[in-house]
Structure formats: structure tokens, C-alpha cells
Structure 1
Amino acid sequence: MGTVKNALKKVLPPPVSAFNREVERILAAQEGNAQLIQQLRHEVESLTRQLEDTQKMVNVLTKVVQENQAAKLEHVRRQSVDASRNAAEGTWANVFHDTIRESKWLTDATFSPGRWAVGYPYLYAMYRVLNEFQPKRILELGLGQSTRMIAQYAAAHEGVEHLVVEHDPAWIQFFSQAFSLPASTQIVQLEREMVPYQEAQQVRVFQGFQQALAGKQFDFISIDAPLGGDMKEYARIDVLRMMPGCLSRDFVVMVDDAERPGERHTVAAMEKCLQEHDIAYQRGGYNGKKDTVLLCSQSVGFLSSM
């Protein structure tokens, strides 16, 4: 009998209640699987966002580390450059003092070089230019330490004309009271203004400079004004705009702060002007805390490598 029941169960459909329970079980299992899949999907999405956030954080930290390393390297580089420039300045100071020790015309050597004033490389090169080139017509842009030297040279050498262009009347008065200027030194006070030049929209120049010096030629020009530290494209273009007409046949032009971009571009433009007019010249550099560039005619080329 039991064998017959078992056989009938295999061929006959199950009772409705049993069938329904089986369907419910399958549906419940499917719903559970769907919830599990949805839960897994949410977890995967959450992990993906966490990974993305982690990667962003890693990128930020990597950038910070790289920037810190770059900043440290730049700091070390600047320290190295400053140390090298300070050492060079000290060397030029010794060379300068040795050079002027027995000078016949530089009797007052109480200079205060540095900061806004010219440095020892400039003073050394200037002394050599004055002592060995012996210019007669001197133009100086900027009243200061260089004036103390040139004025003594002009006072000791007959027929020398020394013209100084300065914008600040208060500084002119103070300097004139502290240092006795000879009759051969004349100060011209000109205000400053901003003008466009080439691609630069604003370049600081002396107002009326070209009119005040029209028709004059100089064999020595010293350029340490007007203020040019904030000029990026060009700086101190007053003489440049009058070249080559303002130069004598034999000439020397000295430019202070030549490491700055404005002055560097101006010197390059000066060289281009000389080349375009087929004027043979030589260039020299004297570097300490600041850079001095010297452009001179071929006839006195030795001054570029003293």
C-alpha cells in the first residue's frame, strides 16, 4: 500500500496548499535575493565613493608634499644664490678698496653701498671707467653714492661736465647739504611719469627728459634711476629712447639692477639698437648682491672685462 502511495505522489500533482506554499517560498527567496543584490549594490557604490574620496585625498596630499618639497628646494636655491651673491659682494668690496687705496682724485671714500644704492661691483667698475677712460661728458640718472664718486672725479679733472638727473627735491637738498658738490656737477630735477613703451603699457620715466637733454652727447652714462623695481617689461628706458644719438663716438653705459626683468629687457633693447646702427660694442658684467651691466664702444672694450 505504501508503495502505491509513493508511486501516485510521483505522477499526481501536489495538493493546492502545498503548491501555494512552494510558490510562496520561491517568491520569498527571490525577494530576499533581490534585497540582497540591492544591498550589495549600495555597498559597492558606497565603497566606490570611499575609494574616490580616498584617491582625491591622496592626490591632495601628494600635491601638498610636492609643493612643500618644491618650496624647500626653492628656499635652498635662494639661500645658495644669496650666499653666492653676498660672497661676491664681499670680494668686490675688497677689490674696490685695494683699487682706490692710492687714488689721486678720490680723496673721500666714505661710501654706503647696497640696498637702493649701487653696490661695490658698480663702484669698482665706475672707478675704473673714470680713472682709465677719463670721460668728459657724464650723464648720471639718480643722485646718490655714485654721485659722490663722479663729483670728485669731475672736480679733479679740468673740462669735465657732470649732469645728474633726480626727481626728488627733498633728497637733492639733503644730499647737497651733506656733500659739497663742485661747480662742474649740475643737478637737474625732473618729475616722473608713466608712459607706454613697446608692449609695456606703463613704464616710469623722467618727465621732459628728452627735451632737457636734446642735442647733448655723453661719453659716460650711469643709469640707476628712475625707480624700476616694479617694472616687469621695461625699466629705465630714458637713455634707450635717445640712443644712439646721445652717445659720443667713444662711450660707456652702465646699468644697475640688471638682474631684474625690466632692466634686463632694457639692456637687451640697447644692444639691439647698437647692432641696428652698426655700432661696434662690448658687454661686461660685474655681479654681487646686484648685477651691473656695462656696454662700451669697441675702442674701450677692455672696460668690459676689468
Structure 2
Amino acid sequence: MFKKIKNFINAILKDNNGRHQQNNLHLKELEWANTYHDSIRGKNALQNLPLNIGRWAGNYTFFYILNRILNDYKPKSIIEFGLGESSKFISVFIENYSKESQHLIIEENALWRDAFNSNFTLFENSKIEVCDLITKQVKGFDVNGYNEIEKFTASKFDLYVVDGPFGSPNYSRHDILKFAENLSEKDDFIIILDDYHRLGEKQTGDDLEALFKVKNMKVNKEVYIGVKSLIVFATDKYKYATSL
């Protein structure tokens, strides 16, 4: 009987701790939301842009960090994995505040591309390339990846926004490693890896960090936490992207 009572109390305490953690994350998200809205103040094109923030799209943590990086550094070449709300944001930012920048979007689904295009028109510096979703093997695990992504891996970008393809339980969105393998200590870049609260993205982040170490590359990192988390990797040229 004593053991049953003890287990019951422990279960209640565990549940309360879980609720406390969730409440804390939601409070952080509210703070990020306010910070995000302050960060776009005075940028009418962004303030007037209808965005569906959260759920499958990036959360306020993500959009604040994205806005600050775009605003502070105005990266000239951007590759984004996954077409969606952030694609709108980047395209509108480039058109209004960074016209020399180029924006390549890799999307896994032609039907979603067509549906997106029927509701929103990207500006001319933003281009969509469809690479169908396929299953790849990473360290013995089935992982979602982009078909023929190798067509783009020889190119180097200032900003990598990794929010696609559809997540995997292990080594999620591991195609970013194919791009990182072509980088060296002479390159400057920022990588945003979204959904870092999940195991699969953490494993991919660990592999990125290990790769940079093998290549003797000094790369700064920071995890930003809201309801969902993201990690930013940045070389010294962009190191303040890890202290936003």
C-alpha cells in the first residue's frame, strides 16, 4: 500500500512539473512575440504582411531571430529548406530592404508549391525549386530527404534556413550536412536549424558541430527557446547572431 501511495504522489509531482515546464515555455513565447513585434516596428512592409505564425510554421522565436539576422546582416545569398510563412517574410524583406539579396527555396511537394503560389506571389529575387521527398539512410535510420539535392550543394550561401523537409524521428533534415561538407574555415555563414527541441534535429545539430570541429572551423552557436526551439550556428563575421 505504501508503495502505491508513493508512486501516486510521484506521478502527481511529475505531472505538475511537466505542466510547469509547459507554462514556462508559453510565457517565453509571449515574450518573444512582443519582442518580434517591436523588432519590425517602422518596417511597414513587414508589419502589413499577413503571417500565420506557429503550429507547423515557425514560432515567434524563429521569426524574431530571422528578422534580426536579415536586418542586421542583409545576407546576399539565402537558401531556405521548406516553403511557407518564412518564405513570404524573406521575400518581402528582400524586396523592400535588401534588393541585392537572392533567395532560393527548396520545396519537397509540387502540389504545395502550386497551392502556395495561388495565394501569395513571391518577389523576383525568390525562386522555388522542387526536390521530391525521398527516404535516405543516415546511420541506419530512415530519414526524410530531398531528391537530387546534390544539384545545389556545391553552391555556398550566407544564410541557411533549415525548416524542411518534413521532420524525421532521427537525424532530421540531415541534408544540411551535404552543404556543410563543402564549407571551409574561409567561408562565412549562418545556419538556422528550426525545431531543435526535437531529438532528430538535435542529432543533426550535433553532427554539424562535429563536422565543423573536424574541419577546424570556428563556429559559434546558440539555442533560442520558446514553445519550439531553434539553434543558430554562425562564424565570427556573424557571431552576434548567437547573442540576439
Q: TM-score range by the shorter chain?
A: over 0.9
> Which of 22, 38, 41 does residue 82 from structure 1 map onto?
22
- The answer on whether the counterparts of 1:167 and 1:190 sit within 8 Å (CA) in structure 2 is yes
Partner of 1:189: 130
Q: Which amino acid aligns with 1:299?
A: K
- The equivalent residue for 1:123 is 63
Where has structure 1 moved over 6 Å in runs of 4 or more?
A: none
Give me the whole-angstrom Cα distance separating, in 1, the residues matched to 2:231 and 2:141: 25
Is the CA contact (8 Å cut-off) linking 1:218 and 1:246 kept in structure 2?
no
Larger relative helix fraction: 1
* Superposed displacement of residue 103, structure 1: 2.1
Q: Give the alignment's TM-score, normalised by structure 2.
A: 0.92
Whole-Å separation in 1 of the counterparts to 2:108 and 2:136: 16
2:73 paired residue number: 133
Q: Residue 216 of structure 1 contacts residue 246 of structure 1 at CA under 8 Å; is this kept in 2?
A: no
Question: 8 Å contact 1:142–1:165 — kept in the other structure?
Answer: yes
* Match in the other structure for 2:155: 216
Please report the RMSD computed on the Cα atoms of aligned residues, expressed in angstroms: 1.8
Which among 203, 210, 213 is matched to residue 265 of structure 1? 203
Equivalence for 2:109: 168
Compared CA separation, residues 279 and 177, structure 1 to 2 (3 A): same
Aligned to 2:173: 236
Letter in 2 for 1:243: A
What CA distance in whole angstroms lies between the structure 2 residues aligned with 1:116 and 1:285?
A: 19
Query: 2: CA distance between counterparts of 1:152 and 1:258?
Result: 26
Structure-2 separation of matches of 1:104 and 1:219: 25
SS of structure 2 residue aligned to 1:284 = strand
- 1:113 is aligned to 53
Deviates more, 1:101-110 or 1:283-292: 101-110
Unaligned runs of 5+ in 1: 1-57
Q: Alpha-carbon deviation of 1:183?
A: 1.2
How far did residue 105 of structure 1 move? Answer: 5.5
| Structure 2 CA distance for aligned equivalents of residues 288 and 107 of structure 1 | 21
Code of the aligned partner of 1:283: K
* CA–CA distance in structure 2, aligned partners of residues 69 and 123 of structure 1: 40
Query: Whose relative contact order is higher, 1 or 2, with alpha carbons under 8 Å and at least 6 apart?
Result: 2
Residues 245/105 of structure 1: CA separation in 2 closer, same or farther (3 Å cut): farther
Cα gap change, 1:105 to 1:252, in 2 (>3 Å): farther
Q: Structure 2: which 5+ runs fail to align?
A: none
**Gap change, CA 1:120 and 1:190, over 3 Å in 2:** same
| Pairs aligned (count) | 242
